[in-house]
Amino acid sequence: MEVISRSTGEDFASRGLSSDRIRVVYVGIDREQYSPDNRVPKAERPTFLALGRVRKYKRLDLVVDAVVDLARTRHPELTLTVSGTGNYLEALQQHVRKLDAGDVVRFTGLVTEEEKVRLYREAWALVVTSPKEGWGLTCLEAEACGTPVIASDSPGLREAVRDGKTGLLVPHGRREELTATMDRFLSDEALRGELRAGALEFARTFSWDRAARETMDLVEETIGDWEVA
């Protein structure tokens, strides 16, 4: 069986599938579409981006709380852009209103592919706080655009984000540590530069050609096993 991450393979193994029947083949990425562009520089104001389906389990409330705290204490220019829609969007918007943080957090709703790439390129970092993902595709897309990722140290995400190289990992659900990690990122220009370079280098290792070759190898291996049997 082909799976897209080690964590997905471990999930199948925990359900009874023999681990020797599982092969991880990571996804590719269109590096022509997802790439830096000198015509789209980083936002002048420090800007975090949360992009994807807005669901309660993704704990975007923690991201909002951390950003609002930092904007009101240490980084007054900080903003958060939330792009996407989902069944938790209205509740999250209400949470922002309760905090009176409309000047800090903006919602874009659904965006086009072109707008998504522009948001990746402009953001200082993508923030992803899910407790579990099959694979962090948005993380890889952001990294390919030269944007580091601050993410929960959770299954799937810890494979798409290399802690200290392409981004920073935070124990899931711990708001104080998320806030401290964001503060560290915003306060250290050298760190941001290192993470941007590392994100680009890491993203270059993912291609659909490589994914296709590894899939074909698995198919041929499986056919060979059948013929022997």
Average pLDDT over residues 69-93: 98
pLDDT in tens, 18-61: 777 777 778 888 988 999 999 999 999 999 999 999 999 999 99
What's the chain's average pLDDT?
91
The predicted pLDDT at position 101 comes to 98
Cα 68 to the chain's mean position, in Å?
A: 20
Sorted by where each starts, the structural domains of the chain and their CATH numbers stand as 1-28+207-229 (no CATH), 39-206 (3.40.50.2000)
Do the Cβ atoms of 154 and 164 come closer than 8 Å?
Answer: no
pTM: 0.90
pLDDT in tens, 109-157: 999 999 999 999 999 999 999 999 888 899 999 999 999 999 999 999 9
The predicted pLDDT at position 218 comes to 76
pLDDT in tens, 172-191: 999 999 999 999 999 999 99
Give the separation between CA 48 and CA 37, rounded to whole angstroms.
18
Strand order in the sheet with 105-109: 105-109, 79-83, 47-51, 125-128, 149-152, 167-170
Beta strands in the chain (DSSP E): 2-3, 23-24, 47-51, 79-83, 105-109, 125-128, 149-152, 167-170
Give the separation between CA 98 and CA 92, rounded to whole angstroms.
10
